[in-house]
Amino acid sequence: MARALRIKDHWREQQLFTGRLLVAILFVLGLTGLVVARLVQLQVGKYEYYSVQSSGNRIRVEPVPPIRGLILDRNGKVLAENTPSYQLEMTPEQVPDMADTLTRLVASGILPEGDLPELKEMVASRRAFDTVVVAERLTDEELAAFAVRRPHFPGLEIRARLGRSYPYGTAAAHLLGYVGGISADDKKTLDPAEYAGTTHVGKISVERSFEARLHGTSGHEDVVVNVHGRKMQVLDRIRSLPGQDVILTIDMDAQLAANQGLQGKRGAAVAIDPRNGEVLAFVSTPAYDPNALSAGLSRRAYLALQEDLDQPMFNRALRGQYPPGSTIKPMVALAALHYGVATSERRVGCRGAFSLPGSSHRFRDWKPEGHGSVDLYNAIEQSCDVYFYTVARELGIDRLGSFLESFGLGSVTGIDIGGEKTGLVPSVAWKKKAFRRPGEQVWFPGETVIAGIGQGYLLVTPLQLAHAAATIAAKGQRFQPTLFRGTRNGATGTIEYEAPRPLPPVPDQEPGQWDAIIEGMHGVLQGPRGTARAVGLNAPYQMAGKSGTAQVFTIGQKEKYNAKDVAERRRDHALFIAFAPLEAPRIAVAVVIENGESGSKVAAPIARAVMDAYLKNPS
């Protein structure tokens, strides 16, 4: 075979090898050229680009949340503040023996044993240098217990955190609301840059409505972080600006008096300054504990609040809708005067019941034997139902309704916290729209009759009722109810006040018409036969008012109402409106007590207490 016969030709092989070596050198140089070209491309050509990328990697902007503004009452009393609470924090990477440390924490009584699994899970899921909260809101005893053992717990330390606290607790809960963790819903409306470091946001009522003023301006820190996110160095720091302090129109003396009166009851009390619409007291009971809610409730505790039959989360002052009952009568009387249906001299005979012509249905008076012959003053003072059945029928529902609307009933008052209900002022057109079956769409004359005493479809909120009382006190002048008196700059102390916002007044009245109904309301409290004269006794000032007792459910024609037989929750609601001092009113109050049975006996004393508390201080 030719191949086998070949012998090595050393000189030729050397030549061949040298040639191949040259090719290899060219190959090496060529690929090296590629590598160098790539280096130049990355380090010279795209240097700027990669420099930016490198900075983006390591520099992180960390937000510094602002301190939330305080909430004050009109006299400077602090209603909401930020108080430090002490919590025990652990940095896992600094703890030499985690299992041993946890065991000893439980043994020393600082860490409840039940919290152990959750804590272990948290330690496992976080990064080793992230602090983990071991125990929140330490008591003085717990603080002391830890302090003496501190050297034995490396990696653990006490930290002070600012939390929202409400010194008056439940007494101002529905007024102030509370703060809570930022939810997905909250995020939709909040500026993500301003809230990047903020953990809590106002959830409801004042805390929510004035969130923008209370929150403040976020600052930030530019920090160098490593790949795990650990802070290595602070490059720059922009301080945050604290939020403004919000001064409310609330007078805490009046608020506490209202709260005191409503203790143990389901109800609401609202007091308004008739001269400018400033809300002086705003109470709804029962209430939740805003301190507990702001600190964070367990799911179970929150559900329990939600499912409580007494509805402590329900703001009755703002959202509760009740038949006004007899508290509507001064306004009905004014409508009768306005439309010429009645004069202050007109008398109506009351024999305990009223029937429409051609009908046998008896509309009962609260006083079965009747009031006899009553004029406007008597009708208000003694709350004669038959008088108001009579004038209401003559007014007709549409005239009566539109007149009540001029007091702000049937629409929101525009108070500066959200969620307000409108109540309801019925009309012929409303009924046609509200009911589906043709038979129910017809307005019956009897429905006008009962509207005259604040029953039937008519619904008002306690806030609307207080607003109406203030409007009567101001003889038709109306102001938008407001909780916001002004702001105080926490740093400079500068206070800025808000001007009152007038609303369209109740249509002009002939001279003396306002005085006629106010005189009647004065009689209620301080007249010889007033329904609430017991409450008006021994007052250092003159006052006017009107009681109301609203039926929660209808009694049959022949039955007799017996409070003892009716389950507590089916009893009548008790209402009362009042204002004082008579000659120059500074406060108007509305009190509603669910199933309170008697406006003059149950609701009126609370109204009196609120007025006493407020008027004891000179304006």
Partner 1 sequence: MNTPAFGISLEPRSRVERGLLGRALRFLHLDGWLLVGIGGVLLISLLALYSAEGQQLTELLDQVARMLVAFGALLFMAQISPNWLRRGSPLIYALGIVLLVMVMATGDIGKGAQRWLDLGVRFQPSEIMKLGLPMTLCWLLHDRPLPPSFGVLVVVVVLLVVPVGLIAEQPDLGTAILIVLSGAVVIFLAGLGWKYIAAVGALTGAAMPALWLVMHDYQRKRVLTLLDPESDPLGAGYHIIQSKIAIGSGGIFGKGWLNGTQVQLEFLPERHTDFIFAVIGEEFGLLGALALLLLYLLIIGRGLYIAAGAPDTFSRLLAGSLSVTFFFYVFVNTAMVMGMIPVVGVPLPLVSAGGTSMVTLMAGFGILMSIQTHRKLVAR
d(CA 317, CA 465): 10
d(CA 602, CA 592) in angstroms, rounded, equals 9
- Counting every residue written for the chain, the total comes to 619
* Residue matched to tokens 């005067």: 337
Question: What is the 8-class DSSP label of residue 201?
Answer: E
Measured CA distances, 214 to 156, 194, 244, 314, 570 (Å): 33, 13, 5, 24, 42
Task: Please count the other Cβ atoms lying within 10 Å of the Cβ belonging to residue 285.
Answer: 25
Six-digit token string for 29:
């140089």
Radius of gyration of the chain (CA): 37
Contact 64, 102 (CB under 8 A): no
Catalytic residues: 326
Helix (H, G, I), strand (E, B) or coil at 599: helix
- CB 44 to partner 1: min, Å: 6
**Minimum distance from CB of 293 to partner 1 (Å)?**
39
Nearest-angstrom CA–CA distance, 392 and 69:
50
Q: Are 180 and 201 in contact (CB under 8 A)?
A: yes
Residue 183 vs residues 243, 312, 457: alpha-carbon distances, Å: 21, 22, 38
- Token representation of residue 223: 């920090």
| Minimal distance, residue 21 CB to partner 1, in Å | 6
Query: Which residues, 6 or more positions from 464, have their beta carbon under 8 angstroms from its beta carbon?
Result: 408, 409, 413, 423
- Measured in whole angstroms, the distance separating CA 233 from the mean position of its chain's CA atoms is 42
Q: Angle of helix 329-338 relative to helix 397-405, nearest 10 degrees?
A: 110
CB-nearer residue toward partner 1: 24 or 144: 24
Q: In what order do the strands lie in the sheet with 279-285?
A: 279-285, 267-272, 587-593, 573-580, 544-550
Least distance from partner 1 to the Cβ atom of residue 219, Å: 24
Q: Tell the residue number behind the tokens 């600082």, with chain if given.
A: 110
At 490, list the tokens.
């926490």
- Nearest partner of 156 among 198, 197, 118, 100, judged by Cα: 100
Considering the complex, state which of residue 29 and residue 147 has its C-beta at the smaller distance from partner 1: 29
Bridging pattern class, strands 71-72 and 245-248: parallel
- CB-nearer residue toward partner 1: 20 or 570: 20
How near is the Cβ of 58 to partner 1 at its closest, in Å?
5
Residue 533's nearest CA partner among 613, 600, 466 is 600
In the complex with partner 1, the residue whose CB is nearer, 20 or 150, is 20
Determine if the peptide bond prior to 505 is cis (ω within 30°): no
**Contact assessment for residue 610 and residue 536, using Cβ atoms and an 8 Å cutoff:** no
* Cα–Cα distance, 61 to 290 (Å, whole number): 33
**Cβ contact 542:522 at 8 Å:** yes
Planar angle of CA 68, 73, 77, nearest 5 degrees: 85
- Give the three-class secondary structure for 150: helix
CA distance 214 to 68: 5
- Of 413, 417, 486, 495, which Cα lies nearest the Cα of 207? 417
Kindly list the residues in this chain that would bind partner 1 in the complex (CB under 8 A).
Answer: 3, 6-9, 13, 16-18, 20-21, 23-25, 27-28, 31-32, 34-36, 38-40, 42-44, 46-47, 49-51, 53-55, 57-58, 224-228, 232
